[in-house]
Amino acid sequence: MSNYQPNPRRGFTLVELLVVIAIIGVLMALLLPMLARAKAKAHRATCVNQIGQVGTALISFAQDNVNRLPWQLTPSRQLELFGPQRDDFVSHPAAIFSLPDFRLELGSAGMVWSPCDAGRESANRAARADWARYNPIEGRILPHEAVSYVLIHGADIGRPTTVLGATRNLSTCDLGTARWSGSDEKPSRPEAMSGLNKNQGQFVAADGSARQSDDADIGGTGKWVLAHRESAGGVTLGRAKTGVLGCCAISETVDGMPIPNLFPNIAENGKGTRYVFILDCSGSMRIDQRLRLAKVALYRTLKKLGPKKEFFIYFYYSAKLPMEGDPVPATEENIARIKPWVDAIPAAGGTDPRGALREAFDKHKPDTIWLMTDGIFKVGNDVPVRRLIADLNKDKSVRVNTVGFGRKPKDVDKSLAPIAADNDGSFEFINSNPSE
């Protein structure tokens, strides 16, 4: 009998395995970009649909209010809908989307977030849980950082060719000078959205039509900007304005306006080596380009401090917006490092510095605080700002200087001068429009 046994089935050799792996790698390299492009295309389509629904909600609102959009309402109607903080809220997209009628029309906070805007997904998810609680008249609005869309000042539902809203990745706060910023730009721009490259955006017109857009639509010769400006009718007089409400982009210049010395005598009025600046960025800071003026004044002040002094910055509206990290020396490098964050802060929301004050005293142990506002502190029946500072600074170890910033001294909070007097500080009023 033969003892012959057939050989078992031969396995793959190492070379064959490597060849297969290489082929799979090549296929993946070819397929992944295609999948990414398909995903980006789907996200843009969803974004167009959602901004279209935002436009529908705005049109429905106007039809219920004698064809006026929220920022076109009479002062009495604005007060009725937005309450005592109307100056801060009436031109703020997040506050507008928080109106009960808008919440009902939109259904969820998710409708004002674009899938092309991954950087704002976390804030929007948190906002969805509080959706039913938002109401401007009660001072509770969507966080600005949960919203992906901006609104256009000159929109008018009686002018169908005007632009009503857009994705927030506009390079400036004016459709007439803007282009679409992209996540593929270097250095990165604060208004960019992760899912949109340069020359890509979305908008909705006042006739309710929503579409994808490129740079040929906007800017000084953009076809949609020209149609927007040259429109006629509705409740608007003259050419339609092209300013953007809810915009994060910051212009590089403040044309024809003197830069105020918001922190006069910084050396004389300062104490110690650690300075904390707590600056109002509420909605009324759009007036007279106040927020931009304040930022330029802040940069100049930090340069005056020099590297032997440390600084920390808070902006505040209804909530606090602290810079990252701990107080740092006022070197040119540190000033340049915080500039993109400062430039991206928008003017939006109410006027409540208490969260920033509490954290500044508890966490950063300042020697001197500069507290600035252009309006009245909105704290309802809660602890007033003056009493809070008295509780936080019982030993008077911190000097608190205050600045009122606006057109008339009567327009700023009456507690500013007493706060400074109570805390070994000085009070200054700065006219934001000295030409008037």
Per-10-residue mean pLDDT of the chain, 436 residues long, equals 57 74 79 71 95 97 96 94 86 92 94 96 95 91 92 95 96 90 88 95 97 96 95 92 76 56 77 95 86 89 92 93 94 92 84 95 96 89 91 96 91 95 94 74
Which contiguous run of DSSP H or E holds residue 431? strand 427-431
Q: What is the pLDDT of residue 31?
A: 73
Q: What is the pLDDT of residue 19?
A: 78
Q: Measured between alpha carbons, how far is 32 from 38 in angstroms, rounded to an integer?
A: 10
Q: What does the block give as tokens for 12?
A: 């793959």
Q: Measured between alpha carbons, how far is 52 from 175 in angstroms, rounded to an integer?
A: 19
Q: What does the block give as tokens for 349?
A: 């929301």
**One-letter identity of residue 114:** S
Q: Measured between alpha carbons, how far is 106 from 102 in angstroms, rounded to an integer?
A: 6
Q: Specify the pTM.
A: 0.70
| DSSP 8-state code for residue 64 | T
- Residues belonging to the chain: 436
Q: What is the pLDDT of residue 84?
A: 81
Domains of the chain from N-terminus onward: 39-245 (no CATH), 266-431 (3.40.50.410)
SS (H, E, C) 293-356: HHHHHHHHHHHHHCCCCEEEEEEECCCEEECCCCCEECCHHHHHHHHHHHHHCCCCCCCCCHHH
Closest CA to 57 of 202, 278, 210, 276: 210
Q: Measured between alpha carbons, how far is 290 from 406 in angstroms, rounded to an integer?
A: 8
Q: What is the pLDDT of residue 252?
A: 43
